[in-house]
Amino acid sequence: MFKKIFLLLIIALISLQVVYAGNATTSFPSNVTLVDKQISVDFYIYNPTSTVQTYTLKSYTAPYPSYFSETTIRLQPNTSKLVPLTITPLENQLESTYSSSIEVTSIDYYNKITFTILQKTNRVCQVDLQYFISYVKESDNYKLELIFKNNSNINQNIDVLDLRDINLEVPIGKISTIKATESSLVRLFKTDINQTKLDYRCNGIYSNITIDLPKKDVIKPNEPFSVFTGLFSLGNIDVLTTLDSTVFQIILIFILIILVLSFSTRYIRYVYRK
């Protein structure tokens, strides 16, 4: 009976040694952020056993291409190693999140390390949007000209979503631009506001442009003023400006003095005649 117990104890110790021999300590960031450039992130692995261990590394990062600098790692007892994992971002992407993992295996060991790839937006708008705006006095309209310059080698669309606080009779909507060309369109509108924003979407990216509206033409002090044509304006003479001038006021006072003196003289003569 004692021999059986001793034999079972020996088997148990051997089993524990086998399990222990396959253990490994690993470390990898829980989140990896990608933008528009390839990056390398170190994977840490440590052999805590008393025997030499060989580990195999494999990454699962689809749809992102990735590779380890070494896929088979041979570690001496109580030694560690940093193994770079290189991950390549996808082009023309909006912000997204992907679950990924790394598998570590040996003859008698398996471990799966999970992490998250955070893809930041790396889309760009390859259509330059410029504008020119002016006030047309004759029609009391603002004239807005939008210029679209496609800098890419493919045709691009740009969606003009809104011209804030302005009612366009003909909405702008989607504009198709030919590769490596420049195009434009014009819209006329009436408004009394001083500023607006042009909201648009290009390659899935929302943006806006602040547009300061030019001041409408107003009557200047040195220009003729009239309520009805010809009533208060005589040729090139500005009647209101003349009335407000110092010279005119002096002449008016002089005329008043002459009138007062003339009236006084006539009155005195009238009194003496009596």
Question: How far is C-alpha 83 from the chain's CA centre?
Answer: 37
Report the percent of the chain where pLDDT is more than 70: 78
- 194 versus 262: the higher-pLDDT residue is 194
Could you give the CA distance from residue 146 to residue 161 in angstroms, rounded to a whole number? 14
Q: What DSSP designation does 66 have?
A: E
Position 244 pLDDT exceeds 90: no
Give me the half-sphere count of Cα atoms (radius 13 Å) on the Cβ side of residue 114.
2
Would you say residue 133 has pLDDT above 70?
yes
pLDDT in tens, 43-71: 999 999 999 999 999 999 999 999 999 99
- Tell me, what's the pLDDT at 217? 73
Q: What pLDDT is stored for residue 155 in this prediction?
A: 95
Q: What is the pLDDT of residue 228?
A: 39
d(CA 51, CA 74): 11
Residue 241, pLDDT score: 52
pLDDT band with cut points at 50, 70 and 90 for residue 11: very low
pLDDT of 248 strictly over 80: no
Please tell me the predicted confidence (pLDDT) of residue 151.
95
- The band of 114, judged by pLDDT with boundaries at 50, 70 and 90, is very high
* Average pLDDT taken over every residue of the chain: 84
Q: pLDDT tens digits for 187-240? A: 999 999 999 999 999 998 999 999 999 999 755 555 444 433 333 334 444 544
Class of residue 82 by CB neighbours under 10 A (exposed 0-12, middle 13-18, buried 19+):
exposed
More confident residue, 186 or 12: 186
Residue percentage of the chain with pLDDT more than 90: 69
Of the listed ranges 44-53, 64-73, 108-117, 249-258, the one predicted with least confidence: 249-258
Tell me what pLDDT residue 235 has: 45
**Strand locations in 151-251, DSSP E?**
156-163, 173-177, 182-189, 195-202, 205-212, 233-234, 237-238
Q: What is the pLDDT of residues 74-91, one digit of tens each?
A: 999 999 999 999 999 999
Rg of the chain over CA atoms, in angstroms? 44
Contact 92, 63 (CB under 8 A): no
The pLDDT score that the predictor gives to residue 98 is 97
Question: Domains of the chain by range and CATH?
Answer: 23-119 (2.60.40.10), 127-212 (2.60.40.10)
Residue-wise pLDDT tens digits, 158-192: 999 999 999 999 999 999 999 999 999 999 999 99
